[in-house]
Each structure stands twice: as C-alpha cells, then as structure tokens.
C-alpha cells in the first residue's frame, strides 16, 4: 500500500534538471520561481531586523524545494515575502525581485497580487487548528478560493469542493460540506487546508511547516498526500520545515537557511551525504537516529541564532561553530560552488584553501 | 495511492447532522431557566406590541364618559367593571387599551433604536478595528465625544432643535426620539466591534484568507464580523432595556410620544399626580416597564452565557 510513490526517482532526476538549468542560465523561463536578492526587514523600536537578507534561489516547474533551518531563521518570512503577505508595518520587503512565471510579483499591483494568491500560489499553513475560520463551514471555506478566482457558480464550485475533499481523502465528502472546522480532527483539517491550497490548480504551493502541529502518524499521511497530489497536479512545492527528515523524504533540492541567509544549497543527496557547512552538520547531527544506541539524549547545536539587528560582517554561524577561526569573524563568506554541480555553500572552512578538507 | 481513500481512525462513520455554533448556543440557552423566562416575557411583549392595538377592547383615546359618570366622575378601579378590566383613568380611557398601545411604542423603541445602533456602531467599529492606525484614532476620539456627552441633554436638545421639521413630526414625533436615543447608544457596540476586530485580524485564519486572495472587504464581512457577532447580540439585547427606559424617561418629561397617544412613560406621568388616590394609573405601566426590563436583561444574560460558555460564572 505504501509504495513510496516514485520518491526514489525524483532526487536524481531533479539533480539532473538542476544541473541543466544551471548550465543554461540564459534560459530563465525554465524556472517557475526565481527569487533574486530578496531582503525583508522588520522595522522595530529596537532597530532594523534583517529577517530575510539577500536571499536568492530558483524553483523549477513541478520541483519540490526544501527550505530548512531553525526557528527564527527567516524561512516563514521568505514564504510570506513571496506572496507579499508580510505584515506591514513593521515588515517591509526592501530589495530584490520575485519573478514568478515571468511576472515580478514585487512590482505587481495589490489587486493583481490578490488575484494571484490562491489561484497561482497556494499556501498551506503550519497550524490547521487556527487557519480555518471557526464560524464558516468547511464547504464555504474551500469554495471561497474557487469562487474568488475561477468564477464558478455556487453549485459548480461546491461540486469541485466535493471532488477536492475526496481527493485529499475525506470520506463522505458531500455530507461534510456543511460541517464546521471543530468537527474535524487536526489531520483532517490539514487535509482541508491542502484542498484549499489545491483548489484552483496552482502552479506553486508554499507549505509552511505543514505538519508541525500534527502527530507523527498523521504527519506521514499528510506528507504523502502533498507529495502524491503535487505529482498528480504537476505543482511545484516550496516545503518549509525544520525537520530534515521531511526534507529528505519530500524534496528534490534543499536550501539551508540560517539567520536570514541561505548558507547551503544543493540536491537533497548532496546536502545529506556531503554537506559543506558546519551548520548543516549540526542540523544532521541533531536528528534522532535509530542506530544510535550510545546516548539517550538528542544532540543539539549549542546556543541560539543571532539577533538580526546590526549584524556584523562575519559568518553568522561563527559564535556557535566549533571550526570557526579569525577569518570567519573578519568577513562573511559568499555562497561558493562546491564539487557537485548545483551545490553551493557559505563557509570559509570548506571552501578552496579552507582548513576543513 | 490507496492511502487517499483509506478512512482515517477517529472519524465517525455514522451520518450525523451538522452542528453549528448557533445550534450549540441555542442548546445551552434552553437549559437556562431564567433566560427562558426572559425569552417568554420578550415574546409576550412582542406579541402585545404587534397585535395589542387590534386586541385592545377600546381605542386608546376613547373616553367612556358614561361609565365614569356612573362611577360618580371617579376613574373606574381595576377588576370592577369587566368592560374595563384594568380600570380607566380620570378621563374614562381604558387602561388596558392604553397599555397595549404603549407596548407598541416601547417595542418599536426597543428594536428601532438597536437598528440605529447597529447601523452606526458596526461599520464604524469595523472600519476602526480593521484599518487601525490613524483612522482608528480619529474614529475612536469621535466615539469618545459621543460617550462623554450627557445622553439626556443631547436627546432633549435634538428633539427641541428638530421639533418643527418634517423629521421631527414623523410618526407622531416618535421617530426623532428613536434616532436621538440611538445616536447616544451606538458607542458601546462600536467599541465592542473594534476590540473584537483588533484581536481577530491577527488570527491565522485571516492570514489564510489573505493567502487565497480574499479581498479586505470580504475578510471583514465574511470572516471577521460573524466571529464578532456573539458579543454584539448580547450588547444589543442588553441595550434594549436601556432604550425602553430612556424612552419612558423622556415620555415622562414630555418629550417624544405626544398625547393622546400613550407610552408607558406618559402613562406614569399622567397618573403620577393621583398616585395616592388612584394608584393603578401608575402601577400597571410601572409593572410593565419592570417586566420588560427584566425580560430583556434575563434574555441578554442568558445569551451571553450561551454564546460564550467560558464566561459563565465569572462576572
């Protein structure tokens, strides 16, 4: 029953696609989403918080890209910036471009952006318990996007809702249209959220920690559902997670974020087998392992991510890094290419001439 | 693929009816004896307000001079003459009929004033709460001014200022009073809605609604107001007795309903000089006002408990 739905295939394939894409940089239309130098700052009384700082990445059509990192690394703010949902004030996208399917979203009018949200870009939120309106029926809330964007009649939109609910695995879908969110379990509500995200056949789904609020068994079901449906609909997914296990199972490529920056990017294989950034090592080390019987405590990365106010020109991970040297404190490293094509890391130690081979 | 259709644990497989928030609330309301009593009183008064004038044995202004003359030019006391079950006043007008006519005025006041309140309070509070910032500040300062203004003085000034206009004469001068009372009492609802929206607009389902491209207007009207409506219903229900009392007060000092039409307030005012000799002239309208106030208050309290069970027991 659980035949791992062609997950084995995708990383290699994606790595190949990514390689091709990197080689033909000129053909920009190959990417569904191209984020360039995106910076989102929050203007707080204590100073300017650089939540997202000069972030660039691409996402191909139908690709699943992971965005991993600790809490407070700017993952969610990146996703919100892509759809211009950053609360303003205090947040503001101060620089960069987000080209989605040939359109720069940051230059779009508010109304144009509104028409795009939900239609071209679906959003799955972290907590399905609070992301559904308690006073509206499930049917209404799914139909809302459809009616908003597809101009279907009430009846036609409800037919589509039933279809969607069946697709996300909600039994007796027609009977449950008039149910309220509190009559659904957490997992079911996340299925509803997925139905909402998929309702208008979007080209891209932003999944912001879609399983954090769910227990582990439901988590597996939801992830499989997202992966099956995104394959079926050919939808690209930006999967935001702090769980590397999820990234390993779902994604073609992975961006590791730390303190508002992308610190390492590459295919999922490379990131897991040969990461070239001590932060990624730390993340991998802190995963619980079945074969590790020596200790009953999880390993952690000591310390906390830095406050993103007045960030010095230094590697942002250096205070927590066991390999840090003066070079790390003097200048911030760039994202530089590593051996594998498409693999980039931001680290002096593992770069050419660095002290970690 | 099989996982898609696999039914999940914990999902009831038997069909059952959808239970909304309202059905839940109604269930709780039904268990509350005092609230039911209040609801019964409200229904009775509504019935009297709507059908009273038709059921009244006499027209409200009719003088039964023969009966009075037979009684030695004294008002007929209650329960003596079955054609005037609650007696007459000193002019021979039937008390029951006048009370029923007054019920119509009081019930109209109850609902028209609350309509005015909702019509002003909800949009104003919603705009202030949703937009926030400077708009919020300005709108709330205006609200403060209305709140600070002495209600009675404002209503008296308004009725004096507009007395001679078409608006002032509409519906025998009652409309003016209704609007004036409404203008002094929308503040609570506006503040309530604003406070609700301020907290509701930060919720995740608003962000989720934005993320699927719902317009601001639809977010406010479809997503936020239904969430805020519970406390508003309570405030409106509890505002009704205040409005009834305000109308009675104004009628007592001669503003609003003009004779020979009666309102409970004017009946008390007319009977008051004779309170020692003919106490029933003031007693019956007094009882009715008290009943109305208590019915609406009980119902409002019950609604509050029913719509927000967390609040029950903590006052």
CATH number reported for the structural domain that contains residue B182 in this entry: 1.10.3720.10
CATH class name, domain A4-110+203-345 = alpha beta
The answer to whether A191 and A217 have CB atoms below 8 angstroms apart is: no
Handedness of CA B220, B223, B226, B232 (dihedral sign): negative
> What is the spatial distance between Cα A297 and Cα A275, in angstroms, rounded to a whole number?
23
Helix (H) or strand (E) holding A89: none
Give per-residue pLDDT as tens, A276-317: 888 888 888 777 777 766 666 777 777 777 787 877 788 888
Contacts of B215 in chain A (CB under 8 A): 114
A4 touches chain B (CB under 8 A): no
Give per-residue pLDDT as tens, B139-168: 999 999 988 888 888 888 888 888 778 777
> What is the spatial distance between Cα A8 and Cα B182, in angstroms, rounded to a whole number?
69
Interchain contact, B212 vs A171, CB within 8 Å = no
Interchain contact, A169 vs B4, CB within 8 Å = yes
**Nearest Cα residue in chain A from B229:** A135
Ranges under pLDDT 70 in chain B: 1-21, 309-315
Interchain contact, A125 vs B10, CB within 8 Å = no
**Inside any domain, residue B20:** no
pLDDT of B161: 86
**Inside any domain, residue B7:** no
**Nearest Cα residue in chain B from A195:** B212
The answer to whether A68 and A287 have CB atoms below 8 angstroms apart is: no
**Nearest Cα residue in chain A from B18:** A179
Question: Phi and psi (nearest 5°) for A206?
Answer: -100, 115
pLDDT of B53: 78
Interchain contact, B205 vs A132, CB within 8 Å = yes
Contacts of B13 in chain A (CB under 8 A): 171-172
Enumerate the H helices of chain A as residue ranges: 9-23, 75-82, 110-116, 138-150, 154-167, 173-176, 186-198, 216-233, 244-250, 268-273, 278-285, 326-330
Tokens of A330: 């003097």
Nearest to B25 by CA among B311, B305, B314: B305
Interchain contact, B205 vs A180, CB within 8 Å = no
Rounded to a whole number of angstroms, the distance from the CA of B3 to the nearest CA of chain A is 7
A169 touches chain B (CB under 8 A): yes
pLDDT of B190: 92
**Inside any domain, residue B19:** no
> What is the spatial distance between Cα B37 and Cα B244, in angstroms, rounded to a whole number?
19
**Inside any domain, residue B204:** yes
Phi-psi category of residue A39: left, alpha or beta, with phi > 0 → left and psi -120 to 50 → alpha: beta
Interface with chain B: mutation pick from A122, A131, A163, A208, highest number of B CBs within 10 Å: A131
Domain ranges of chain A: 4-110+203-345
A119 touches chain B (CB under 8 A): yes
Contacts of A204 in chain B (CB under 8 A): none
Q: How many domains does chain B have?
A: 1
Across the strands, what pairs with A345?
A264, A336
End-to-end Cα separation, chain B, in angstroms: 54
B5: how many CB neighbours lie within 10 A of its CB? Answer: 11
Selecting from B5, B19, B204 the residue whose C-beta is nearest the C-beta of A131 gives: B204
**Nearest Cα residue in chain B from A89:** B133
> What is the spatial distance between Cα A221 and Cα A238, in angstroms, rounded to a whole number?
18
Rounded to a whole number of angstroms, the distance from the CA of A190 to the nearest CA of chain B is 12
Q: Is the pTM of this model over 0.80?
A: no
pLDDT of A16: 56
Scanning the structure block, which residue is given the tokens 């039933």?
A162
- What residue numbers bound the domain in which B253 lies? 74-309
pLDDT of A293: 62
Ranges under pLDDT 50 in chain A: 1-9, 21-28
Give per-residue pLDDT as tens, B41-78: 889 888 888 887 787 777 777 777 777 777 777 777 77
**Inside any domain, residue B30:** no
Interchain contact, B19 vs A180, CB within 8 Å = yes
A144 touches chain B (CB under 8 A): yes
> What is the spatial distance between Cα A77 and Cα A66, in angstroms, rounded to a whole number?
15
**Nearest Cα residue in chain B from A143:** B212
Rounded to a whole number of angstroms, the distance from the CA of A309 to the nearest CA of chain B is 25
Selecting from A123, A131, A137 the residue whose C-beta is nearest the C-beta of B205 gives: A131
How many Cα neighbours within 13 Å face the side chain of B213?
27
């Amino acid at each position: 029953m659980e035949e791992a739905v062609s997950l084995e295939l995708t990383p290699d394939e994606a790595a190949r696609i990514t390689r091709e894409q990197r080689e033909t940089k000129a053909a920009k239309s190959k990417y569904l989403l191209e984020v360039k130098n995106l910076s989102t700052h929050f203007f707080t009384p204590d100073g300017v918080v650089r939540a997202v700082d000069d972030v660039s990445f691409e996402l191909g059509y139908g690709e699943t890209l992971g965005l991993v990192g600790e809490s407070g690394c700017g993952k969610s703010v990146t996703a919100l910036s892509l759809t211009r949902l950053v609360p303003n004030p205090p947040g503001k996208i101060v620089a960069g471009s987000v080209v989605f399917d040939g359109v720069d979203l940051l230059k779009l009018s508010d109304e144009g952006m509104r028409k795009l949200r939900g239609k071209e870009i679906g959003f799955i939120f972290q907590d399905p318990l609070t992301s559904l309106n308690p006073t509206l029926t499930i049917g209404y809330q799914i139909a809302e996007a459809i009616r908003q964007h597809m101009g279907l009649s009430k009846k036609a939109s409800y037919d589509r809702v039933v279809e969607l609910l069946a697709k996300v695995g909600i039994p007796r879908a027609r009977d449950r249209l008039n149910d309220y969110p509190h009559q659904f379990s957490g997992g079911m509500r996340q299925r509803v959220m997925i139905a909402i995200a998929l309702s208008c056949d979007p080209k891209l789904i932003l999944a912001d920690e879609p399983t954090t609020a769910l227990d582990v068994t439901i988590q597996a079901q939801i992830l499989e559902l997202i992966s099956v449906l995104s394959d079926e609909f050919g939808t690209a997914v930006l999967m935001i997670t702090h769980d590397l296990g999820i990234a390993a199972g779902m994604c073609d490529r992975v961006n590791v974020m730390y303190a508002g920056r992308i610190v390492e990017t590459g295919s999922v294989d490379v990131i897991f087998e040969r990461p070239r950034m001590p932060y990624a090592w730390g993340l991998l080390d802190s995963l619980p392992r079945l074969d590790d019987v020596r200790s009953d405590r999880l390993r952690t990365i000591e310390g906390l991510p830095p406050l993103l106010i007045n960030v010095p020109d230094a590697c942002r991970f250096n205070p927590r890094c066991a390999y840090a040297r003066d070079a790390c404190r003097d200048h911030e490293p760039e994202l530089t290419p590593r051996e594998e094509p498409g693999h980039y890391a931001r680290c002096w130690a593992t770069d050419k001439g660095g002290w970690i081979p | 693929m099989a996982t898609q259709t696999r039914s999940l644990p914990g999902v009831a497989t038997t069909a059952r009816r959808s239970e909304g928030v309202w059905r839940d609330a109604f269930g709780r309301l039904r268990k509350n004896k005092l609230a039911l009593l209040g609801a019964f009183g409200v229904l009775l008064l509504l019935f009297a307000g709507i059908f009273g004038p038709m059921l009244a044995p006499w027209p409200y202004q009719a003088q039964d001079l023969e009966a009075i003359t037979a009684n030695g030019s004294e008002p007929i006391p209650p329960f003596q003459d079955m054609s005037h079950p609650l007696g007459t006043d000193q002019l021979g007008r039937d008390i029951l009929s006048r009370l029923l006519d007054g019920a119509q005025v009081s019930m109209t006041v109850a609902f028209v004033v609350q309509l005015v309140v909702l019509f002003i309070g909800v949009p104003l509070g919603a705009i202030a709460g949703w937009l926030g910032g400077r708009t919020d500040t300005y709108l709330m300062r205006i609200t403060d001014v209305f709140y600070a203004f002495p209600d009675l003085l404002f209503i008296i000034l308004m009725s004096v200022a507009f007395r001679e206009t078409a608006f002032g004469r509409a519906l025998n001068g009652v409309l003016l009073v209704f609007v004036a009372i409404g203008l002094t009492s929308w503040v609570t609802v506006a503040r309530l809605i604003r406070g609700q929206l301020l907290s509701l607009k930060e919720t995740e389902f608003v962000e989720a609604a934005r993320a699927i491209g719902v317009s601001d207007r639809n977010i406010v009207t479809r997503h936020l107001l239904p969430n805020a409506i519970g406390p508003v219903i309570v405030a409106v229900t509890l505002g009704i007795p205040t409005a009834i009392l305000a109308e009675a007060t104004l009628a007592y000092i001669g503003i609003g309903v003009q004779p020979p039409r009666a309102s409970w307030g004017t009946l008390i005012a007319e009977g008051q000089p004779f309170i020692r000799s003919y106490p029933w002239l003031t007693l019956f309208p007094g009882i009715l006002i008290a009943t109305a106030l208590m019915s609406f208050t009980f119902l409002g309290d019950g609604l509050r408990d029913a719509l927000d069970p967390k609040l029950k027991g903590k006052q």
